[in-house]
Amino acid sequence: MNKTPKNGEVGPRTMNFHIVTIFPEAFESYLNSSILKRAIDRGIIKVEFYNPRDFSNNKWRRVDDRPYGGGPGMVMSAESILKTVESVKLKLGHSVSKLAHRSVLCKTIIFSAQGKRFSNLGARSFSKKYTDIILICGHYEGIDARVKKILRAEEISIGPYILTGGELPAMVLMDSVSRQVRGVLGKEESLEDDRVASPEVYTRPEVLAYKGKLYRVPKVFLSGHHAKIEEYKNSLRAKRGI
């Protein structure tokens, strides 16, 4: 549970993820394990799903159609997604009216290989700036371009490759942003940038015997000399261009 702030201090707050997807079941295994599950159980992270099929205007609950101008595959229609996001924002408006002290700062994101490359700095920025993040997961050959324009959504890419849907990128973003939220990780030191960029880490045994060969931990890591250890890591980063 989140603690009530005292003496005007800002206490831990809930980070709310609103997932717009036609495949909510894809998230079940990931959200029901490890760190994110504990954060959800403690109320630090909250995840809700909204299926565009529930807002479709046809009896078959279709959310796609043929693209203008030709081309392979189908495109997700604008109307059902827009109605879905409207329902999210209406819900957020109601939550604000009930909790007058809570300021909702909402960000809407669409995943696209052509979008801005997501980074740890971006994750940290999202965690500090927003209380609610709407993640629109596309499918088929993409989403009607008018959705981005109408919602003023930001296009985000998790890498220079094409995926079959936005569910995996949504999980990546949720995980990366969530670990930046206070109280999610066991130790605040886990947030250090150096940990993210550390090119090598080791644990026991000091000497690993594997298939007739011995693999040793570099002596500098056993020295206890933190300045020398950091110097060694920096030299590795420089070699690898990190």
Domain containing residue 22: CATH number: 3.40.1280.10
What pLDDT does 10 receive? Answer: 39
Q: How confident is the model at residue 195 (pLDDT cuts 50, 70, 90)?
A: low
User: Which of 76, 114, 108 lies closest to 173, judged by CA?
Assistant: 108
Residue 103 included in any domain: yes
Mean pLDDT of 36-58: 94
How would residue 125 be classed by pLDDT, with cut points 50, 70 and 90? very high
User: Is residue 31 domain-resident?
Assistant: yes
Picking from 133, 150, 178, the residue at the C-terminal end of a domain is: 178
User: What is the rounded CA–CA span in Å between residue 81 and residue 70?
Assistant: 22
At residue 2, the pLDDT reads 41
User: Domain range holding 233?
Assistant: 198-240
pTM: 0.82
Pair (23, 114) in one structural domain: yes
CB atoms within 10 A of CB 232: 18
Q: How far is CA 188 from CA 143, 180, 230, in A?
A: 38, 9, 19
pLDDT, averaged across the chain: 87
What's the chain's length in residues?
Answer: 242
Which carries the bigger pLDDT value, residue 238 or residue 50?
50
pLDDT at 16 over 60: yes
**Domain identity same for 202 and 174:** no
| Same domain? 128 vs 60 | yes
Q: Are residues 88 and 49 in the same domain?
A: yes
Residue 160 and residue 212 in one domain: no
- Strands (DSSP E) contained in 21-99 are 45-50, 64-65, 75-76
Total domain count, the chain: 2
AA letter at 109: I
Residue 8 lies in a domain: no
Q: From CA 94, how far away is CA 101, in angstroms rounded?
A: 13
pLDDT band at 197 (very low <50, low <70, confident <90, very high): low
How large is the average pLDDT for residues 138-164? 93
Residue 91 located in a structural domain: yes
- Both 164 and 231 in a single domain? no
> What pLDDT digit, counting tens, does each position of 85-122 carry?
999 999 998 766 665 445 679 999 999 988 999 999 99
The arithmetic mean of pLDDT across residues 189-200, rounded, is: 58
- Domain assignment present for residue 3? The answer is no
pLDDT of the residue at 241:
72
The mean pLDDT value for 60-74 works out to 87
